[in-house]
């Protein structure tokens, strides 16, 4: 984690556009960025939800905040044009946009307009005093690893281990394999690298990054991994065998999860789901070549975030 001087020039604004009352907040933040000398662009879906005009034509947002118009761009165009992105919402909003920006290495600043806010850490009511120094080059920067997941399916005449990739997805939090809503549990075969680990019977299995270790994996009884750790946590969900415990792994190998038994099995890559997996399908998880860049206010601490969000005791002895 480090600080480095930088003058940002082009900012993307992304918002949790489903949230009631978010439009005036986004307008105010856009005005603040413009006042700091940045060119501001809205993410297209955010702009449309705010009442964009000409979204399929000129692509401009009509009279946002009384400052003329802001251009509305796709995520890919924002990645190519912007050198900073301000994300207003909760962790879900950040997750979706972070995956889009990772390959462009655009740094992200999260303003929390949601609930917990593990990765949208700037309080909404204090965004000006936090954002101004960041725009001036005074910040803490960290890089978060991502998971690259894929689903492979056997076809007629193919030998074991050979198949067709039917889905690929990136995850900042986790890859989750789980059963459907029907009764019964899921059975999976887990291999790590060239080593067979176990056949597990459970409601599901989570492979989480350090970022995702404070999400679903934590609720399922997994440990918290510091974001600087090059590892993953594999957590069974309601395992039938009590000796099947969470395990922390290095992220240098590939985790393979084969579907042995279960009905309506699905795989979730953060918020992207692939449903109706078949017996014999295999989910493969490896470390992505891309990382997400987060910018935090000076003095930011991961441990302080844990204390605040998990309400750990802060008193002295």
Which pLDDT does position 316 carry in this prediction? Answer: 56
Residues 105 and 211 in one domain: no
**Which one is catalytic: 77, 91, 121, 264?**
91
Residues 280 and 170 in one domain: yes
% of the chain with per-residue pLDDT over 90:
71
Residues 39 and 135 in one domain: yes
In a domain, 4, yes or no: no
Residues 44 and 167 in one domain: no
Q: Give the domain CATH number at 32.
A: 3.40.50.10330
Which of left, alpha, beta for 109 (phi over 0: left; psi -120 to 50: alpha)? beta
Residues 68 and 86 in one domain: yes
| CA geometry: angle 226, 213, 252, nearest 5 deg | 70
Residues 84 and 26 in one domain: yes
In a domain, 270, yes or no: yes
Residues 158 and 60 in one domain: no
In a domain, 5, yes or no: no
In a domain, 315, yes or no: no
| Residue 91 among the catalytic residues | yes
- How confident is the model over 43-70, as a mean pLDDT? 59
Which of these ranges, 87-91, 114-118, 286-290, 307-311, has the smallest mean pLDDT? Answer: 114-118
**Residue 129 and residue 143 in contact, taking contact as beta carbons nearer than 8 Å:** no
Domain interval for residue 107: 10-139+297-310
In a domain, 190, yes or no: yes
Query: For residue 189, is pLDDT > 50?
Result: yes
Tokens in use for 242?
């009590």
Query: For residue 164, is pLDDT > 70?
Result: yes
Residues 244 and 280 in one domain: yes
Pairwise CA distance, residues 217 & 202, whole Å:
14
Residues 188 and 229 in one domain: yes
Residues 94 and 168 in one domain: no
pLDDT digits 0-9 by tens, 237-285: 999 988 899 999 999 999 999 999 998 999 999 978 898 899 999 999 9
Pairwise CA distance, residues 232 & 246, whole Å:
10
In a domain, 89, yes or no: yes
% of the chain with per-residue pLDDT over 70:
87
Can you tell me whether residue 270 is helix, strand or coil? coil
Which pLDDT does position 113 carry in this prediction? Answer: 86
Residues 161 and 78 in one domain: no
Band (pLDDT 50/70/90 cuts) for residue 15 is: very high
Which pLDDT does position 63 carry in this prediction? Answer: 44
* Total of domains in the chain: 2
Q: Give the domain CATH number at 170.
A: 2.60.200.30
In a domain, 47, yes or no: yes
In a domain, 1, yes or no: no
- What letters, b where the CB count within 10 A reaches 16 and e where it falls short, cover 16-44? bbebeebbebbbebbebbbeeebebbbbb
Which pLDDT does position 54 carry in this prediction? Answer: 37
pLDDT digits 0-9 by tens, 132-144: 999 999 999 999 9
Residues 114 and 52 in one domain: yes
**Residue 212 and residue 172 in contact, taking contact as beta carbons nearer than 8 Å:** yes
């Amino acid at each position: 984690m480090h600080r480095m001087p930088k003058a940002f020039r082009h900012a993307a604004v992304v918002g949790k556009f489903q949230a009631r009352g978010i439009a005036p907040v986004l307008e105010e933040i856009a005005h603040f960025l413009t006042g700091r000398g940045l060119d501001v662009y809205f993410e297209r879906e955010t702009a449309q939800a705010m009442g964009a005009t000409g979204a399929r034509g000129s692509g401009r947002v009509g009279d946002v905040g009384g400052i003329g118009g802001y251009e509305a761009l796709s995520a890919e165009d924002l990645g190519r044009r912007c050198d900073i992105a301000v994300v207003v919402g909760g962790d879900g909003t950040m997750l979706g946009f972070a995956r889009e920006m990772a390959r462009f290495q655009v740094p992200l600043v999260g303003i929390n307009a949601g609930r917990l806010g593990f990765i949208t850490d700037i309080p909404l009511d204090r965004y000006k005093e936090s954002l101004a120094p960041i725009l001036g080059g005074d910040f803490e920067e960290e890089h978060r690893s991502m998971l690259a997941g894929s689903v492979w399916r056997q076809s007629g005449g193919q030998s074991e281990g050979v198949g067709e990739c039917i889905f690929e997805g990136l995850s900042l939090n986790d890859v989750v394999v789980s059963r459907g809503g029907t009764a019964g549990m899921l059975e999976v075969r887990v291999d790590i690298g060239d080593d067979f680990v176990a056949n597990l019977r459970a409601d599901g299995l989570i492979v989480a990054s350090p970022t995702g270790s404070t999400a679903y994996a934590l609720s399922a009884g997994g440990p918290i991994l510091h974001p600087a750790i090059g590892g993953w946590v594999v957590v069974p969900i309601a395992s039938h065998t009590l000796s099947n415990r969470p395990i922390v792994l290095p992220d240098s190998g590939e985790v393979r999860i084969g579907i042995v038994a279960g009905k309506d099995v699905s795989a979730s890559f953060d918020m992207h789901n692939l449903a109706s997996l078949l017996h014999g399908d295999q989910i493969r998880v490896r470390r992505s070549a891309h990382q997400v860049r987060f910018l935090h206010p000076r003095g930011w601490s991961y441990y302080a975030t844990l204390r605040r969000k998990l309400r750990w005791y802060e008193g002295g002895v």
